[in-house]
Amino acid sequence: MEQILQYMAQQSEAITVLQQQLLAAQAAIATTPAAPAPAPAPVAAPIVEVALPTKFNRERGQVVGFINACRLFIQMRMGQVGSRSRIS
């Protein structure tokens, strides 16, 4: 039991020291004038070539996969059109 109390006292002292260091660091930051941050350089997004979905072979088990492939294809193409209009 005594060991636990000693451990808790050590942890309490460590927390107190960390809190004091944090307050000192915050005070140092508050007293230094903030320099304006440089504007980030624009990044050109690469255009991803999207493969066409495979041709539907009319199998019942392939319906969900075909629809998902078409949905992904359309989303990628629409996203590229939107990105191109924002860039230019």
| Residue-wise pLDDT tens digits, 41-57 | 776 666 667 677 777 78
> What does residue 56 show for φ and ψ, rounded to 5 degrees?
-70, 130
| pLDDT score, position 30 | 75
**Closest by alpha carbon to 79, among 39, 28, 87, 56?**
87
| pLDDT score, position 18 | 92
User: Residue 88 pLDDT more than 70?
Assistant: no
**SS3 per-residue string spanning 4-27:** HHHHHHHHHHHHHHHHHHHHHHHH
pTM: 0.37
| pLDDT score, position 19 | 94
